[in-house]
Amino acid sequence: MIIASIDIGTNTVLLLIAVVNKARNEIKTLKNFYSIPRIGKGLLPDNEIPEENIQRLLDSLRQYKEIITEFQCKKIIITGTKALRSAENSDDIIKRVRKELNFNIQIISGEEEAELSFLGSTSEGHTGIKNLVIDIGGGSTEIIYGHRNKIEFKKSFDVGVVSLTEEFLKHDPPLQSEILKLESIIKEKLNELQKIKFQADVAIAIAGTPTTLVCMKMNLKEYDEDKIEGSYLSSEEIKGLIEKLSPLSTNQIKSNYSSVVEGREDLILTGAIILLGIMELLVIKKVKVSSKGNRYGAIMKYIFKDSDISTDN
């Protein structure tokens, strides 16, 4: 069976086309697509997503519908995360998407998002390995710990690259005082992580922040999933990238790092600071990088829906 899985985030909308063998619990990736409509741009809690943002979302979904038709997908899974969770007009957007495209969006909670991130990023790992998963998104960050058959800790934190960049980095390039304030706020919002003792075999960082940082570390001019998937980032490497990024304007970042930062050139510094802050709080020296997140997890949950997977805290 060929399945399409779409993850609607605050910054990106991602599409996975995969062949699924439910009998063997296997997912084979056929193609990944991404767009950056940034539907959470300028969105404050309990406010409406602006019409121009909605139009960008609809444009992305129209393109994806053509791709899904081309691949003759038998099932379509669509999840919406932080921006749609917090927007006052999310119900109207869901109805509009259903009417115009016949797509059904399921808005998931922060805990559900954490679960899907974990399932997706650990889908090919050994069942007995303890994993710590870090998912930095546009509007929230999820921290999840456990092994494939039991999630022991999961929490969604109100820390995202879009929301924090818009709130704290007012200048381009940002002032040093703004960066220091951002670092302080991140540590404050994630402070409870200091009290938790995770005994993880592997720490995995997923989504656009770590994959972009790896591209920058490797001096890649184009995104290459084969080189990025399973690579590592150390805390020292992230510190070095933060030092390089801090004095640069968004145009300079885009010019220096080419298409690998496109759509994230104004967000990647914030993402790097968030990732480094988490690693310092949890005393992690390196993370394994993966592009597999919610869209993979949504398919895994579909596969496992009749299984005995446990997500107890």
In sequence order, the β-bridge partners of residue 133 are 144, 204
Which is more confidently placed, 4 or 44? 4
**Looking at residue 311, what is its pLDDT?**
37
Q: CA distances (Å), 272 to each of 53, 221, 265, in order?
A: 25, 19, 12
pLDDT at residue 196, as a whole number: 87
pLDDT at res. 208: 92
Share of the chain above pLDDT 70, in %: 96
Between 64-78, 174-188, 255-269, 291-305, the lowest mean confidence (pLDDT) is in 291-305
- Is the link from the previous residue into 45 a cis peptide, with omega within 30 of 0? no
The answer to whether 275 and 164 are in contact (CB under 8 A) is: no
pLDDT in tens, 270-289: 999 999 999 999 999 999 99
How far lies 288's CA from each of 131, 218, 232, 295, in Å? Answer: 10, 15, 5, 19
Residue pair 229/299 in contact (Cβ under 8 Å)? The answer is no
**pLDDT tens string 78-110:** 999 999 999 999 999 999 999 999 999 999 999
pLDDT of residue 125: 61
pLDDT for 44: 83
pLDDT the model gives residue 126: 57
Identify the pLDDT of residue 46: 78
Instruction: Compute how many other C-beta atoms are within 10 angstroms of the C-beta atom of residue 64.
Output: 22
Q: Please state, rounded to an integer, the average pLDDT across all residues of the chain.
A: 92
Q: Which two tokens stand for residue 117?
A: 């991130």
250 C-beta neighbours (distance < 10 Å), count: 17
**Cα 306 to Cα 79: distance, rounded to the nearest angstrom:** 20
Domains of the chain from N-terminus onward: 2-107 (3.30.420.40), 122-290 (3.30.420.150)
List helix spans (H) across 71-224: 82-86, 90-101, 110-121, 161-168, 176-189, 208-217
Q: Are 91 and 127 in contact (CB under 8 A)?
A: no
Environment class of 297 (CB within 10 Å of its CB; exposed 0-12, middle 13-18, buried 19+): buried
Lowest mean pLDDT, pick from 5-14, 119-128, 155-164, 230-239: 119-128
- pLDDT for position 127: 63
HSE-CB of 175 using CA atoms within 13 angstroms: 6
Q: Determine the pLDDT at residue 128.
A: 72
Query: Strand 131-136 relative to strand 26-35: parallel, antiparallel, unpaired?
Result: unpaired
pTM: 0.91
Query: For residue 146, is pLDDT > 60?
Result: yes
